[in-house]
Structures are given as C-alpha cells and as structure tokens.
A and B are shown apart, each in its own frame.
Chain A
Amino acid sequence: MTKKNTLKLWTIWVLASILLVLIFAYQLLGNGVSKAIFMPGDLSMGHHQLEDACESCHTDAFGGGEVLQEACINCHGDQRIKPFDSHPRSKFKDPRNASRLEKINALMCTSCHVEHKPEITQKDGLTQPIDVCFHCHADIGEERPSHVGMEFTTCKNSGCHNFHNNRALYTDFLVKHMDAPMHMPNPHLPETEFVSVLEEILEYPHDSYPVQTLQSNDADAPEVSNKDESIHRDWLETAHANAGVNCSACHQTRNEENELSTWNDHPGMESCQTCHGTEVERFKLGKHGMRLAVGLSPMMPKDAKLPMNKNAAHEELTCTSCHGAHRFDTTVAAVESCLECHADEHSLAYKDSPHFSLWQQQIVTNGSSDSGVSCASCHMPRVEYDVNDWLTRVMVDHNQSASLSPNSKMIRSSCIHCHGLGFSIGALADQELIENNFNGKPSVHVESIDLARKDNEKYLQKMNK
C-alpha cells in the first residue's frame, strides 16, 4: 500500500470517527432526541415508554445495583406495601435468612426483574429464575399434602401464587368462596367516597371552596372567559358546581397569602391534583401517566405496544383526555374514552359482551352507578385505598396497570363483586374468553380451589376425630 493511500485511509477513519462521535453526542445531548440507540437491549412491556428517560432508573452513572434498587422503589415502593406484601424486604433482612439470600438475593428487585434482556424476559416482565420459589418452599408438600408432586414451574399459575401479593388468594379465602355460583345474588360495585370524607382530605381547599351548591350566577370566571354558554352549562351540571368548586379553583392558583393568580384558559393536571392528588399520583404510576412521572411528554397511543386506533395515534394522555374539560362525565370516561384509543380484540369485543349490556341498561334506566360493567369497572376498579396511614377511602384506582400482570390481581378488586371465585379464576386464565370479552363461560379449569378443598376436607376429618 502506498503512503498516499495510507494517508487517505487514515483521513477517512478520522473523519468517520468524528462523525460517529457527533452523531452519538447529538443522540445523547439533543433535547427530545430518542436515546434508544444506547440501550443494551429492548426494555420490557412495563418500561418501554421510558426508553428516552434513561436517567429515571440510572440516576447515577457511577452507582451499582443499589442505584437501580432505589429507582425501582421510587416508583414501585408502594406496591410492596399495598396490597399486603407477603415477602417484604424486612423479612429477608432478618439475619436468619442470610443463607437463603446466598441462593436468591430477594433484597434486590433486579434478582427477578432485570431490564434490557428481552431474551430472558418472561410474561409480565419477569426474569426470575424459574425455581425461585423452590429455594425456600421445597418442603411445601409436608405442609400442604395436596401440593405433593407439583412442579415448581406451576407456583405462579393464574389463580395460584403471586410473590408480592401471596395473601390475595390465601387458602382460607379459597375455601370460603369455593362454592360461590357463577353470578352472585346481589352483584354491585362499591360506591366511591370523596365528599363524605372531604374533611379528612387535608390538602383540599376547604376555606376557599366550601361544600355548597353553586348557582349559575355564582361562577367566578372573568367575563371575557365566560362567553361560551355550553362550557358554563357543562360546569353547572357537574359534581364540581354541586360541591362548591368554582371556575377559579381550576383556572387560577392561590399563593400562600391566598391571592389568586392570573386566569389560565387551559389549566394542566396540577389543577386536578389540588383536590384529586391521589388519583393523579396513581395515574402517573400506570402506563397512561408514567411518562409524565419522569418528566417526559404525555403518552400517545402511537407509542403503545397494544393495537390502537390510528385516528387517535397522536392524542396526548392527561386527565382531560378521558374526562374532558368542564363536563367531567365519568360515564364517557369509563367506556367511550377508552375505546377512542384501544383497538385490540378484547376492547373491540366489549360492545358485544354481557358486560356492555349491563352498562347500557344502567345508562338507559339511569340506574345506580354500581350496576353496569364498564371498561373502568375492571381496569380502574373502585378500591379501598389507604390514602395515608390514617385515611382509607373507596376511590377509582387510576393506575390501571395495578390490576394486570398478572390479571388475577383483578379478581378481588373487580370480578368477585359480581362473580363467584371459581368462575373468576377460570375466566381470567382463559385467553380465548378474554379476547371475546367474556362472552361465554370459561373452558379452563384452575386447580387452586380443588387443592384448597382437598386440604380443608383433611382438616375437617382431623377435627372430627
């Protein structure tokens, strides 16, 4: 090779290297530029929306596992407390479990939830060793004779065990509900609580907006913003006007001296958060709001992994996307808002399902709000939520991800209000039935109730002796 050629190659190499550095620098530092190029592997279904927010998990470039652990707890810490976690960190911190930690380090989330490893990621984003339960429960057959001979791969079958919420379907609960019919005699959902516990919601602006019914001429919007009659009427017909929530409550903020800010025609979620803080907080933990929680732009259906309506591809997800502004019609939010975006088989089959018939019946007959079954009835269930250590209230859980992965999490929060336990467990294990939106009976039979029945019979025999 001549000297001239060598020089040419070196020049190309240097230029190519500089170009590469510039491309990477642009990707890394550019505002709004996707950082996905730096990912060592795709993110799981649960985190794929965060691929442009590397720093939300990797908070410190020089930290190790403890940095990731802190990031996990920052978002998921609550789920380790509510509902009751049967495998709390404190249990494994006990020195008597030191030898167990040598096999599976249950103190670190990453022992079972590694990211960027699509090749080992199982359903629900798990990367746990398949024999994870075996290490501590190898002798389960001695305690539960019905479990003798069962493979360790069956522990987390639908309707059986859930590591973080193993108490949801405990044996006595299975026994108590084992003979419940397909349809319960008095099917209804719990009523939500808000006004009745308002006194205990400390952050609520009680002084500025005391609970009272507001009339048309009470509206405190400036005249220039009060021209749209339909907006005014919408507000007047809502729970807001009925509960004393005036226009300024959302369109203006108050400083420490209780002085109002200037009027904002398009207030954001922070306005909703003033009174509905827990709902917004839960929303940001689910797939709808998780991008907002880490400072990214709102989620758009185009970024979803599930099939979505193309027309809604660029709709941004905030409170008003589903609730609308001024009208805040929960009937629309509970069905039509969902179907505006979701276009998977399960969602598309909803309007042919028995659940939808009940929903229509409720709307037509103007029945009580607990007799129909909307999308939200199951996916944003009304749960007894511990708002803090001292206040529990029935509220709509806006973290729709909390009832999925695995879907058996919704048995107690939704199904069981109307259906027997056996039917519910079977239905949620039947993929075909899920796809046609529960139009029929389950063809899958899960053994968990049979096992509990068997153990219970043995116990009763022993007691009779």
Chain B
Amino acid sequence: MKYKLKNSWIILSFTFITVLVAGIAWASDVGDNPSITPRTMADALHMVMDSDRAVYTKKIVNRLVKKEKVIKASEHFEDEKALVLPAQMFRFGAEMVAEKAEKNPDINFSYSLQSLWPINKQNAPATDAEKEGLKFVVDNKGQNYYTTEELGGITYFTAVYADVAVAPVCASCHNDHKDTPKSDFKVGDVMGGVVIRIPISG
C-alpha cells in the first residue's frame, strides 16, 4: 500500500511537470506566432498613439497653457522656451520609432500625421492610398480606412485613422497659422489623419 502511494506521487509529480512544461512551451509558442492580424496591430498601435497624444494635450499642454497659464506651447519651442505642440510631440515619436525600427527589422512599422490641408506641404498625402484614405476618413466620420499598397518593392498594410479637432485650440491654432490652406476648422472636424504602415511582404 505504501509502495502504491509512493508510486502515485511520482506519477502525479511527473504529470504536473509535463503539463507545466507543455504549458510554458505553448505560451511561448503563442508569443512567437503571428496570431495578430496587421489590422488588429494597426488598431492597437493607433489606440496607444491616440491616447498618449490626448494625455499630452489635456494633462500637459491644456493644463499648463490654458488652465495654469505657466508656459506657452509653440512650434518654435526651443527659441521660445515653450512646450512642443501635440502634433510635434507625435511627429518626434514617429521619428524615434523610425530610428529604432531600423535597428530592429523584426518590429517594423511606421506612422505619420497627414492632412488634405497640411500646414507643412510635405505632410500632404503622397501615395494613392494616402489620398484615398484621408478623403475617406473625412467623408465617413467615425470610420477607418484600410488597404494594402506597394512602395519601393515592399507590400504594406496601410491604415488611415481620422484626426479630429478635439479642443477649440486645435482648430484655432490651425486656422490662424501662416501656412494653413484652410481657416474654418471647427471642433469636431476631421483635420487630417494618422497613417500607419506595416510591411506584410517583400
């Protein structure tokens, strides 16, 4: 009886270890396998970008500039010792990601902020997907645009998300800028779009 009990413990322990090892192997396998679609990944990335920018706009820029009135935000933030504009903060992040992604080809994606009415003309849509996507998110409020396109011999999954004027200051800043081609933005208007690209082949 004693022998049987001992044997049961060995069998039980062996089963437990086997299940544990299999579980770890399965978990690591799930982590390495591409079970997330490019669309889900783009949506997730956009959710992070959008939230981070909203936090920066509300908790930092709006609070310190409008509410506390302790500092201003300016496009020429270095010369004017000011906060960077939310759009600049977004762009600087995109540039840093581009630098990091170049060193980590496994984690490759890019994103940019563009508009049909860009202040800097270099941010006007350049590819057919960008032109079509930006128009789509303006005409179809609340909807995103997804497509694939080939650029430089590589096929990309391209997603375009509407960039909406969430606060009066977003609209007024764009309306009053020297280089703006459109001066009648209102809160709630789609002013541009976030374009995210994920390489899928090539």
Query: Is B154 on the interface with A (CB-CB < 8 A)?
Result: yes
B11 to chain A, nearest CB (A): 55
Q: Measured between alpha carbons, how far is A88 from B96 in the docked complex, in Å?
A: 10
Residues of B within 8 A of A95 (CB): 110, 151-152, 154, 156, 197, 199
Contact B152 A143 (CB under 8 A): no
Query: Is A98 on the interface with B (CB-CB < 8 A)?
Result: yes
Q: Measured between alpha carbons, how far is A90 from B93 in the docked complex, in Å?
A: 11
B83 to chain A, nearest CB (A): 16
Contact B95 A84 (CB under 8 A): no
Query: Is B176 on the interface with A (CB-CB < 8 A)?
Result: yes
Contact A98 B152 (CB under 8 A): yes
Contact B151 A96 (CB under 8 A): yes
Q: Measured between alpha carbons, how far is A110 from B101 in the docked complex, in Å?
A: 23
Contact A84 B78 (CB under 8 A): yes
Contact A96 B127 (CB under 8 A): yes
Query: Chain B 161-202, CB within 8 Å of chain A: the 1/0 string?
Result: 000000000000000101100000000000000010101000
Most B-side CB within 10 Å, residue of A139, A172, A455, A456: A172
Taking a contact as CB atoms closer than 8 A, the residue among A136, A171, A173, A455 that contacts B122 in the complex is: A136
Contact A88 B76 (CB under 8 A): no
B107 to chain A, nearest CB (A): 14
Measured CB to CB, the nearest residue on chain A to B102 is: A93
Query: Is A101 on the interface with B (CB-CB < 8 A)?
Result: yes
Residues of A within 8 A of B96 (CB): 90
Contact B121 A143 (CB under 8 A): yes
Query: Is B1 on the interface with A (CB-CB < 8 A)?
Result: no
Query: Is A459 on the interface with B (CB-CB < 8 A)?
Result: yes
A88 to chain B, nearest CB (A): 6
Known A94-B98, A95-B110, A96-B195; judge A459-B178 contact (CB<8 A): yes
Q: Measured between alpha carbons, how far is A99 from B126 in the docked complex, in Å?
A: 9
Most A-side CB within 10 Å, residue of B96, B152, B178: B178
A393 to chain B, nearest CB (A): 16
Q: Measured between alpha carbons, how far is A89 from B97 in the docked complex, in Å?
A: 12
B108 to chain A, nearest CB (A): 10
Query: Is B144 on the interface with A (CB-CB < 8 A)?
Result: no
Residues of A within 8 A of B151 (CB): 95-96, 98-99
Contact A463 B110 (CB under 8 A): no
Taking a contact as CB atoms closer than 8 A, the residue among B95, B102, B121, B176 that contacts A142 in the complex is: B121
B199 to chain A, nearest CB (A): 8
Scan residues 228-283 of chain A and give those whose CB is less than 8 A from a CB of chain B: none
Query: Is A97 on the interface with B (CB-CB < 8 A)?
Result: yes
Most B-side CB within 10 Å, residue of A84, A94, A143, A459: A94
Residues of A within 8 A of B179 (CB): 143
Known A143-B121, A173-B76, A173-B79; judge A93-B98 contact (CB<8 A): yes
Measured CB to CB, the nearest residue on chain B to A172 is: B76
Contact A90 B99 (CB under 8 A): yes
Scan residues 132-186 of chain A and give those whose CB is less than 8 A from a CB of chain B: 136, 139, 142-143, 170-173
Query: Chain B 86-113, CB within 8 Å of chain A: the 1/0 string?
Result: 0000000011101101100000001010
22 contacts between A and B (CB under 8 A): A89-B102, A90-B95, A90-B98, A91-B95, A91-B98, A93-B101, A93-B102, A93-B110, A94-B112, A95-B110, A95-B151, A95-B152, A96-B112, A96-B127, A96-B130, A96-B197, A98-B151, A101-B152, A143-B121, A143-B179, A171-B178, A463-B176
Residues of A within 8 A of B (CB): 84, 88-91, 93-99, 101-102, 136, 139, 142-143, 170-173, 455-456, 459, 463
